[in-house]
Structure 1
Amino acid sequence: MSETVNDIWEPHAPAAAGLRPLHAEGLDLRVSGAATARTVADGVVEVNAEGEGELRIEWRVPCVDATAFWTPEPRGTGWLPAAWSAPRRTSLAGGAPIAALIGTGDVALCAVAAERPDVLAGAGVVEETGEFRFWVQAAGRLTVRIDTSGRHFARCLADLSAWWGSGRAADIPEAARRPAYSTWYSMHQDITPERVETQAALGKELGLDVIIVDDGWMTADRTRGYAHCGDWEPVSLPDTAAHVRRVHELGVRYLIWYALPFIGKDSAAYQKLGRYALADAAHLGAIVADPRYPEVRDFLTDRLARAVEEWGMDGLKVDFVDCFARAEVPEPGPGADCAGVDEGVERLLAAVRRRITAANPEAMVEHRQPYVSPGLWPYVTMVRATDCPLSPQENRQRTVDLRLAAGPVPVHSDMLMWHPAEPPEQIACHLINVLFAVPQISVDLAAQSTAQREAIAFWLGVFRTHLDTLQLAELRPARPDLGYPLVTAVGEETVAVARYAALPVDASDPGWRTLLVANADADPDVRLTGGSGTAAVTVQDARGRIVRQSEVELDRAEPIPVPRGGLLTLRRD
């Protein structure tokens, strides 16, 4: 639920006029149009409304023991909004129509998702009654699922995402889940083949299997604007196909960046497409091209597909798709074949996906917050947390939030960067903070000390060895109101826990044979609760060096010291 609609404000949270009551599964709904409700699981109701004009589904729940309101947006989780807060609009190109009111014990007091991507939604505390009001609105047809089952909020959100995802997702190449190197923070626009190849080689040694070349490859300008976007000629990567072959010879996959909507005013493309402006991004030196026109879509598809078809690259980093999402859209002119922008965006992304996978069935496409709609899943193979340089807690919260709403799509961290003097313990903590995502790293690897390189290599090895547990197992993040100070992934025989505060670790799950505890807190004493039996203990520091090996009785274990940035591994028969 992405774009704030500033001109809608409801100071006393009145019900919208013309709604009628509808009762289902203990919910007192108010609906418009021809509406029906059915129970699809214990505590889960699906409401369908059809009719002319705007349709609305509205309900309230007691705001008792509530701790947080969750959405998948950057900085979307935490405080409880007031019912008079401006609603938010989602679309194919911005946001995802899902939210949850969370209570003590990390249960979902109420979780909700809309089937269609383009809705207007409001949520917040009703001051007069202490209730929490939800409403969802869209034109023509509207289906929502409302979950008041009282389960862990992550389980409720996973079920809502699964409801979205039937037959919807793209095939995900294995490389989309492998650690990646990005040039953005480490090079910005100062791209050369030699620099890219050097970092690709060094990264491969450390466990980085993919390189993503960002802005700067298509221009000699270094002023960080977008006036040169649109032509997409490899100005800074001469003899591009040979350069890509050299990277491939290292065993590294190659993605390249495109600011998809921008046609820069200093580009030759502007002379051709400048009249097809959805918006004028004057402060960026570009226009946002209007995807409702086939001429625009054909041009952009040809430009992007060229990277895979001609240069042999393994995919695209497609940036700024959310710039297509606008509250006010000009009427289409002659030649447009789509009434809505979302339809044009979908046709464009589908055409790009068809072209690149025809050339390379394993081709990858990266998207980024906030364009995380399930409607985009057929066209994307990974989604990245939006920029939060050198902010480990923010990266943690954004990647966990994304995991809860991304369904089958791999979630990538924002690029990890740090000061050259960063100690290996803190580098390890940067990586632990994105333990349940795919890490991207963006520092000059040639400038790293031996200790820094050891920390990078050790933790990337953990990511790779335990990929199935960290990325594919059931995710159980704790305390969203506190920014997830403890996160757990529960696999068939392996449980992984990341500890970001001095909290005990629950070892009671009977199914684990391996329990991993990554410690990103300054307190070294890891306390285990609920376990039984004997386990072999290995403690490694931030660089992977073993500092303890022993056995413990889990039901009466003393705290186990684990250095900051270190890993505790427990194994039992």
Structure 2
Amino acid sequence: MSETVDDIWEPHAPAGAGGLRPLGAEGPALRANGTASVRTLADGVVEVSTEGPGEVRIEWRVPCVDATALWTPEPRGTGWLPAAWSAPRRTRLAAGAPIAALVGTGDVALCAFAAERPDVLAGAGVVEETGEFRFWAQAEGRLTVRIDTSGRHFARCLADLTAWWGSGYTVDIPEAARLPAYSTWYAMHQDVTPERIETQAALGKELGLDVIIVDDGWMTADRTRGYAHCGDWEPVSLPDTAEHVRRVHDLGVRYLLWYALPFIGKDSAAHRKLGRHALADEPKLGAIVADPRYPEVRDFLTDRLARAVEEWGMDGLKVDFVDRFAHADPPAAGPEADCADLDEGVERLLAAIRRRVTAAQPEAMVEYRQPYVSPGLWPYVTMIRATDCPLGGQENRQRTVDLRLAAGPVPVHSDMLMWHPAEPPEQIACHLIDVLFAVPQISVDLAALSTGQREALAFWLGVFRTHLDTLQRGELRPARPDLGYPVVTALGAETVAVARYAALPVDASGAGWRTLLVANADADPDVRLVGGSGTAVATVQDARGRTVRRGEVELERAEPIPVPRGGLLTLRRA
């Protein structure tokens, strides 16, 4: 798009129609410019398309009745109702995803929508003059949006919208991308050495961590946390790299290596080679953002990253800072560029990297991170991680749940879990329960764990692995996005998993489950089951996995079952 957000955003202007023409009489009040059409797909679900020269725009409104939150997949994007004059969201291939939902009482979607293309400017908010909720989306040349006002659970509506996205992509996910991982970042920061990495890999394997992700510091002896040394990507801190990787593999652990993909540091030899192809200057970081519209840039970066898998035998890449490519107003491409569109250059670069690493290792993994969560990136990624929130359990919970609702078939990873050395086992268990419906990443010194901490970590990692299908592939039903998801449920074939983060009752209804898991992350131990029938055998384990109670319970009775904070209630019926 040629315009910036500031060009279009008029915070004091009334929420008028802006010259758009009405479309049909059914469903939400729709307006569009260009050559527009509306197609009904199901009860309460329509697809609106328009095209024309220049910017095209679709706008629609619904009554803002019983509304509680606007859901979006951005960090801190859920839990309030913006005004119609709030700044719009601009999504691109490398930043954000064009999807949102107005959620009402009972967690129903009053209106959910997604756009077919990744590069969209979208606004949403309450119209002060009418009490309606206005949505609008615009793009260059053509635009298709799906609008769902069916009134179903908002997660069901979002699942259908992401399935619509997924029908256009081939996504290949190795099973290892769903296994708990160890990350060096919070535990070591830049102080990585082969000995420290191998020690943590060995200890992690014993606890149930099958992947290790080595972060910043491996490519430089500098420890000042800047990016001036990025770009050459020589293993300064990992001598005899291939042999080091082989030793990690001998432990039965897979190995991923971190790259700050866009950055060419000003102290690197690569800067002398590619500095003229700068998309942006980042003086505070000591680097430039390289412009992927140039084949020379793409070839260089692809060779640098693929080397980890092709030469050193690693199992994949942690590709960081891709969102730094997402400039709304990039400089004009020079004569050496082979594409004028920035998103096209980004996609060519990411496709080349994925192609090279999977040619060398068919099960290679590639990690991306919030906020670059666009479905256009799905073919090039095997997992998406929540953005940094150290020791922020509620943030980690909300971000991983939000990502699950927008990531389609791609596994979602938590931000790395870290804690103070004096953290009690119960709180460590709560950190893990906060990310129960994602893949946990751990980043502490495993050699320094107390016996209780180690037992809590091992127990809950075992829960993640044993119930992986339900927790990661089950139908996700988070409750109350306006309150940060105080209860989250995953529905599997015969197992239902519930995480309880507040003193709220747990729904035990449904004839399909044979196993009901209730993870208690609240200080109130009294778990109240509602809606159940018949009897079940209840097993209660504390945060360290020790059985503290077992016996038969009648599900119809309202008597609470005591479950310690950080503990697990398992109900099994014949």
TM exceeding 0.5: yes
Deviations, residues 185-234 of structure 1 (Å, cap 9, x unaligned):
00000010000000000000000000000000000000000000000000
Question: What is the CA–CA distance in structure 2 between the aligned matches of 1:280 and 1:446, rounded to whole Å?
Answer: 41
Task: Report if the CA contact (8 A) 2:541-2:569 is conserved.
Answer: yes
1:400 aligns to what SS in structure 2?
helix
Q: How does 1:281-360 map to 2 (within 5 A)?
A: 281-360=282-361
Deviations, residues 474-513 of structure 1 (Å, cap 9, x unaligned):
0000000000000000111000000000000000011000
1:402 alignment counterpart: 403
Task: Report if the CA contact (8 A) 2:4-2:329 is conserved.
Answer: no
Q: CA deviation at 1:130?
A: 0.4
2:152 aligns to what SS in structure 1?
coil
Q: CA deviation at 1:11?
A: 2.0
Question: What is the CA–CA distance in structure 2 between the aligned matches of 1:171 and 1:42, rounded to whole Å?
Answer: 32
2:429 alignment counterpart: 428
Task: Report if the CA contact (8 A) 1:4-1:88 is conserved.
Answer: no
1:552 alignment counterpart: 553
2:183 alignment counterpart: 182
1:244 alignment counterpart: 245
Q: How does 1:516-527 map to 2 (within 5 A)?
A: 516-527=517-528
Question: What is the CA–CA distance in structure 2 between the aligned matches of 1:449 and 1:396, rounded to whole Å?
Answer: 25
Q: Answer yes or no: is 1:5 the counterpart of 2:19.
A: no
Question: What is the CA–CA distance in structure 1 between the aligned matches of 2:191 and 2:177, rounded to whole Å?
Answer: 25
2:106 aligns to what SS in structure 1?
coil
1:68 alignment counterpart: 69
- Please give the TM-score of this superposition, normalised by the length of structure 2: 0.99
Moved more, 513-522 or 160-169: 160-169
2:212 alignment counterpart: 211
Q: CA 1:24/1:466 → structure 2, altered by over 3 Å: closer, same or farther?
A: farther
Q: How does 1:113-132 map to 2 (within 5 A)?
A: 113-132=114-133
Letter in 2 for 1:431: L
Stretches of structure 1 that go unaligned for 5 or more consecutive residues are none
Moved more, 15-24 or 341-350: 15-24
Stretches of structure 2 that go unaligned for 5 or more consecutive residues are none
Q: How does 1:116-195 map to 2 (within 5 A)?
A: 116-195=117-196
Question: What is the CA–CA distance in structure 1 between the aligned matches of 2:568 and 2:295, rounded to whole Å?
Answer: 53
Q: CA deviation at 1:16?
A: 4.8
Deviations, residues 428-448 of structure 1 (Å, cap 9, x unaligned):
000000000000000000000
Task: Report if the CA contact (8 A) 1:4-1:87 is conserved.
Answer: no
Q: CA 1:333/1:114 → structure 2, altered by over 3 Å: closer, same or farther?
A: same
Q: How does 1:482-501 map to 2 (within 5 A)?
A: 482-501=483-502
1:110 aligns to what SS in structure 2?
strand
Letter in 2 for 1:289: A
RMSD between aligned alpha carbons?
1.0
Letter in 1 for 2:23: L
Deviations, residues 373-407 of structure 1 (Å, cap 9, x unaligned):
00000000000000000000000000000000000
Deviations, residues 113-165 of structure 1 (Å, cap 9, x unaligned):
00000000000000011000000000111000000000000000000000000
1:102 alignment counterpart: 103
Letter in 2 for 1:70: W
Q: Answer yes or no: is 1:442 the counterpart of 2:443.
A: yes
1:54 alignment counterpart: 55
Q: How does 1:503-542 map to 2 (within 5 A)?
A: 503-542=504-543
Q: Answer yes or no: is 1:39 the counterpart of 2:40.
A: yes
Q: CA deviation at 1:167?
A: 4.4
Task: Report if the CA contact (8 A) 1:261-1:321 is conserved.
Answer: yes
Q: CA 1:24/1:262 → structure 2, altered by over 3 Å: closer, same or farther?
A: farther
1:258 alignment counterpart: 259
Letter in 1 for 2:103: I
1:284 aligns to what SS in structure 2?
coil
Question: What is the CA–CA distance in structure 2 between the aligned matches of 1:360 and 1:167, rounded to whole Å?
Answer: 25
1:105 aligns to what SS in structure 2?
helix
- Please give the TM-score of this superposition, normalised by the length of structure 1: 0.99
Task: Report if the CA contact (8 A) 2:15-2:127 is conserved.
Answer: no
Letter in 1 for 2:298: R
Q: CA deviation at 1:41?
A: 1.3
Task: Report if the CA contact (8 A) 1:169-1:409 is conserved.
Answer: no
Residues matched between the structures, number? 571
Q: CA deviation at 1:24?
A: 5.4
2:274 alignment counterpart: 273
2:556 aligns to what SS in structure 1?
helix
2:114 aligns to what SS in structure 1?
strand
